[in-house]
Amino acid sequence: MQDNNALIQLDAGVPGGTPAPVAGAEEERVVPRELSGREKAAIVVRLLLTEGADIPLEELPEDLQETLTHQMGRMGLVDRVTLASVAREFSDALAGVGLSFPHGLAGALDAMNGKIAPTTAARLRKEAGVRQIGDPWQRLRALDAEELATMAQAESTEVAAVMLSKLDTAKAAELLGQLPGPVARRITYAVSQTGKVTPEAVDRIGWSLAAQLDQRPIAAFKDAPGERVGAILNQSAAATRDGLLNALDEEDAEFADTVRKVIFTFAHIPTRIAPRDVPAVIRGVDQAVLINALAGAQTEGDQAAAEFVLANISSRMADNLREEMGERGKVKQADAEQAMTEVVGAIRALLDEGAITLVEPEEEEA
């Protein structure tokens, strides 16, 4: 990017220093040609490309890319003395750059992406009427398949076919899996009609779809309502959790069902934790807490979870735990629930770290 800023300086006619006399008696009698800033920039780009340099010209504003390309087409031949003079001026300009900033508000917003509040970025972008620079498809590829499916169903079949073609194979397969069968078939067939779509059209479609993301209202919460309620109820006492779920059933059965899918309790361990992951789970729990959780299991579901844990660790460790459970005796319900909550917390921590994954219900049924 520093090279690009020096190019912009040359293009604008900013001097990079007085050229030193050209070495050699014969060459001293040759005066460098008078050049405009655009001509100098074209010479530098041509020289760097000839030397095999990888110049990120795509990071320049589009108008400068177009101007530079036109200028290169008009240059013709440049003598060695002029070339040496321009190269020296560019080198001096480059050496004088202490810090480079993005070009324009669009570049500044992209550079600050993730560093300032999303609401602030969206407001500035909307007020200034600027769009993101770079490749819009890179931003679209970062969306999950469910969001892409929603966008695809809102667009024409032809636009959806272009979107499908621009995704990587795995994401495209996920997208098709999120669509109703007839819609997926129409879009898949429409891909066969995209052979003559121009790069300009693909670019316009990409920016149009990306613009929809900027027009969406900024959500105050990262997680969906069901996930937030489920996370709260995960940490609640069983009586409180059951009472609230029953109340939710009466108010909004669909929302209650969503919350139930998010909730993970001690009783869910046999159906959602793979047997191979049980040793990793108990390693993250204090032994006294684990004893309270296992010995305090009262309901049928909790007892099944306790037996599942004991059955999927070494027999020696299981025997030791059973012996300590017998010595511990009866555990108060409050202590048992607190211990089970801590076990579930350890599981959540492992999930967040990516150390284990939950077994999906459909996988279990299969």
pLDDT of residue 227: 83
Find, among 330, 337, 334, 235, the residue nearest to 293 by Cα.
337
Top mean-pLDDT range of 17-26, 213-222, 235-244, 318-327: 318-327
Find, among 70, 329, 348, the residue nearest to 227 by Cα.
348
pLDDT of residue 273: 93
Kindly report the average pLDDT of the chain as a whole number: 82
pLDDT of residue 213: 76
pLDDT of residue 17: 42
pLDDT of residue 103: 66
3-state secondary structure the chain: CHHHHHHHHHHCCCCCCCCCCCCCHHHHCCCCCCCCHHHHHHHHHHHHHHCCCCCCHHHCCHHHHHHHHHHHHCCCCCCHHHHHHHHHHHHHHHHCCCCCCCCHHHHHHHHCCCCCCHHHHHHHHHHHCCCCCCCHHHHHHCCCHHHHHHHHHHCCHHHHHHHHHHCCHHHHHHHHHHCCHHHHHHHHHHHHHCCCCCHHHHHHHHHHHHHHHHHCCCCCCCCCHHHHHHHHHHCCCHHHHHHHHHHHHHHCHHHHHHHHHHCCCHHHHHHHCCHHHHHHHHHCCCHHHHHHHHHCCCCHHHHHHHHHHHHCCCHHHHHHHHHHHHHHCCCCHHHHHHHHHHHHHHHHHHHHHCCCCCCCHHHHHC
pLDDT of residue 70: 92
pLDDT of residue 5: 54
* Reported confidence tier of residue 176, pLDDT bands at 50, 70, 90: very high
pLDDT > 50? residue 20: no
Q: Which residue has the higher pLDDT, 100 or 305?
A: 305
pLDDT > 50? residue 205: yes
pLDDT tens for 272-291 read: 899 999 999 999 899 999 99
* Reported confidence tier of residue 27, pLDDT bands at 50, 70, 90: very low
Among 81-95, 123-137, 227-241, where is mean pLDDT lowest? 123-137
Q: Which residue has the higher pLDDT, 324 or 98?
A: 324
Distance from C-alpha of 304 to C-alpha of 266, rounded to nearest angstrom: 10
Residues 273 and 347 sit within 8 Å (Cβ to Cβ): yes
Question: What's the average model confidence in pLDDT over 75-104?
Answer: 83
Among 111-120, 162-171, 344-353, where is mean pLDDT lowest? 111-120
pLDDT of residue 265: 87
Residues 336 and 298 sit within 8 Å (Cβ to Cβ): yes
pLDDT of residue 185: 93
pTM here?
Answer: 0.46
pLDDT > 70? residue 365: no
pLDDT of residue 15: 43
Q: Kindly state the percentage of the chain with pLDDT values over 90.
A: 29
How far is C-alpha 156 from the chain's CA centre? 26
pLDDT tens for 105-144 read: 767 777 777 788 767 776 776 665 555 555 788 878 888 8
* Reported confidence tier of residue 218, pLDDT bands at 50, 70, 90: low
pLDDT > 70? residue 4: no
* Reported confidence tier of residue 165, pLDDT bands at 50, 70, 90: very high
pLDDT of residue 232: 87
pLDDT of residue 332: 92
* Reported confidence tier of residue 100, pLDDT bands at 50, 70, 90: confident
* Reported confidence tier of residue 293, pLDDT bands at 50, 70, 90: very high
pLDDT > 70? residue 338: yes
